[in-house]
Structure 1
Amino acid sequence: MFKKLVIVAAASAAVTPAVFAADLYTPVADPPVYTASGFDWTGIYAGAVGGYVWGQSIVSSTGLTDTTTVNPSGGQFGVTAGMNGQFEQFVLGLEGEILWSGVTGTAGIVGLTVDDILTVKSDWQGAIKARAGVAFDQVLVYAHGGIAFADYHARHDDNGVFVSDYRTSRTGWTVGAGVEMAVTENVSVKAEYAYSDFGKWSGTDSLGNAHDFTHHTHAIKAGVNFHF
């Protein structure tokens, strides 16, 4: 009998720690699923932007068949500001920019002598546009579109002597796409393409001659933004 008690006691002593150990064991929880962008694009930002612009401007005398095509090009540099809101991986925003533009081009005026030159210039260009994109942590891929603004100056010179000119400001539309990357918590860099079209319109030059105009541009830009 004593021998049986010793065996039962020994068995109980062996089983009890295992029972306690089972009671104390807590399964390790699965790690959380990564579902959102690591970098939060929500907020206000401002920065600098610059690039290269090229385009086409067509000028014709109203009611006549002579048409002169000018292909202006040049650099741009300016400032931009905007705001973003992030919803999971999707980012929506509004952005404005104003840029000094060194866009200029010349061509011989069709129907006149070889000394008659038409120069087309644009000294500034701006836009107010909506942005929509997808964030991949610190990288944002986006499309943009909105309203474009620009000044427009066409000048006629004959053998280097001023003959007439025409100046106006135009409103048009712009679309494009780009990619932006956060390099720190508060700084990002971007590269984008934009097409801007200022339509077709009529105007009268400084001599009272009527003309029809069209103007559009392409731009490749790079910039840096500071997020607040």
Structure 2
Amino acid sequence: MKRIALLLAATAFSAPALAADVIYEEPMAPVAIAPVASGWTGLYLGLQAGGAFNPSSPDDQGIFASFGNDTPVPGLAGGSIAGAFGSSFDSSFDSGFIGGAHIGYDYQINDFVVGAILDINAMDIAVNQNSFSNTPAFYEAERSLDYLATARLRAGYLITPMALAYVTGGVAYGEVDYGFSTNSPAVVGAAGRPANVYEGEDDWGYSVGGGMEVKLTENLSFGAEYLYTNLGGGDSLTVLDGGPFDGSTTNGANANGEFTAFTSGGDFDFHTITAKLSYRFN
């Protein structure tokens, strides 16, 4: 019994010492991993496609007779150039597809992004201006555009690290072609005199607009862009000088040097909306 009592006493005195030697480590607090923001600084290139349109009707074709629009012309239905055409004018804008490629560079400053972009697009749009005489005959002028290039600056704000809203503007160039056709007896046929076509278009203009671009991955972005483009006014015209267009009713040689000009003025302007896919070399 004495041995058991001594053993229990020794155990009681040694237990606190053993407990003092035990070290308890508290678990580490979880570390939050912040998402890495994707940068916008760098070169990019890509493709775009969409449509070109203008909801507004173009200016009507103008008619100018050197001898006076209201001067009586013998035998002409309506009595004069003005009377022969009256208010029989029509104009329209032919919408079409636009698509091409772009290259640009952006530089990010905190939540702001500035940069420059060059693009070139194939397209097929036209302005048609028609007049109709009571001969009856039609006189159609067409100004068409089959490609467009722009050089623009752009500036935007990051709504989120991956979404950019921006405005853009710069110069635009597109070669506007002019053509004229008619079925007037004073122009077609053996007795008619050919039309003299003079093409004068500005071709240079400007583009302004804006858009939204979203990064799908670190290097791939998708966006939509709206632009208004104005290539300036045209000075294209067609001169007719046979029959009533020189103030007489006789086809053939122009004996008195008079003429009637059909003019196609007004700005060649339109709107475009495109979807854009870009690869970024960040």
Please indicate the TM-score interval, normalised by the length of the shorter structure: 0.7 to 0.9
Higher mean Cα deviation, 93-102 or 190-199? 190-199
Provide the residue aligned with 1:97 in structure 2: 119
Q: TM-score scaled to structure 2, two decimals?
A: 0.62
Q: Is the 8 A contact 1:115 1:159 kept in 2?
A: yes
Distance in 2 of aligned mates of 1:89 and 1:4: 74
User: 1:178–1:12: structure 2 CA closer, same or farther, 3 Å change rule?
Assistant: same
User: 1:158–1:221: structure 2 CA closer, same or farther, 3 Å change rule?
Assistant: same
1:136 positional shift:
3.4
SS of the equivalent of 1:58 reads: coil
Provide the residue aligned with 2:169 in structure 1: 145
Provide the residue aligned with 2:211 in structure 1: 178
SS of the equivalent of 1:78 reads: strand
The answer on 1:203 being equivalent to 2:202 is: no
SS of the equivalent of 2:39 reads: coil
Q: Is the 8 A contact 1:82 1:95 kept in 2?
A: yes
Of 84, 94, 101, 1:79 maps to 101
Distance in 1 of aligned mates of 2:168 and 2:13: 80
Amino acid at match of 2:18: A
Provide the residue aligned with 1:190 in structure 2: 223
Q: Is the 8 A contact 2:200 2:234 kept in 1?
A: no
Q: Is the 8 A contact 1:150 1:169 kept in 2?
A: no
Structure 1: gaps (5+ residues): none
1:4 positional shift:
8.4
Aligned length: 220
Distance in 2 of aligned mates of 1:169 and 1:78: 23
Distance in 1 of aligned mates of 2:13 and 2:212: 74
Provide the residue aligned with 2:180 in structure 1: 156
1:218 positional shift:
0.6
1:181 positional shift:
3.7
Q: Is the 8 A contact 1:62 1:211 kept in 2?
A: no
1:102 positional shift:
0.9
Distance in 2 of aligned mates of 1:110 and 1:172: 31
Distance in 1 of aligned mates of 2:13 and 2:168: 80
Provide the residue aligned with 2:59 in structure 1: 58
SS of the equivalent of 1:44 reads: strand
Q: Which has the higher strand share?
A: 1
User: 1:195–1:111: structure 2 CA closer, same or farther, 3 Å change rule?
Assistant: farther
User: 1:212–1:168: structure 2 CA closer, same or farther, 3 Å change rule?
Assistant: closer
User: 1:48–1:147: structure 2 CA closer, same or farther, 3 Å change rule?
Assistant: same
Larger Rg: 2
User: 1:184–1:30: structure 2 CA closer, same or farther, 3 Å change rule?
Assistant: closer
User: 1:145–1:111: structure 2 CA closer, same or farther, 3 Å change rule?
Assistant: farther
Provide the residue aligned with 1:28 in structure 2: 29
Of 175, 199, 220, 1:166 maps to 199
Amino acid at match of 2:46: G
The answer on 1:41 being equivalent to 2:40 is: yes
Give me the identity figure in percent: 20
1:191 positional shift:
2.4
User: 1:165–1:223: structure 2 CA closer, same or farther, 3 Å change rule?
Assistant: farther
User: 1:84–1:192: structure 2 CA closer, same or farther, 3 Å change rule?
Assistant: same
Distance in 1 of aligned mates of 2:63 and 2:131: 14
Provide the residue aligned with 2:242 in structure 1: none
Q: TM-score scaled to structure 1, two decimals?
A: 0.74
User: 1:105–1:152: structure 2 CA closer, same or farther, 3 Å change rule?
Assistant: same
For the aligned residues, what is the CA RMSD? Answer: 3.7
User: 1:205–1:153: structure 2 CA closer, same or farther, 3 Å change rule?
Assistant: same
Deviations 1:166-210 (A, max 9, x none): 2434332222222334445443333222111234x4625364956
Provide the residue aligned with 1:14 in structure 2: 19
SS of the equivalent of 1:71 reads: strand
Amino acid at match of 1:120: R
1:110 positional shift:
7.3
Q: Is the 8 A contact 1:58 1:215 kept in 2?
A: no
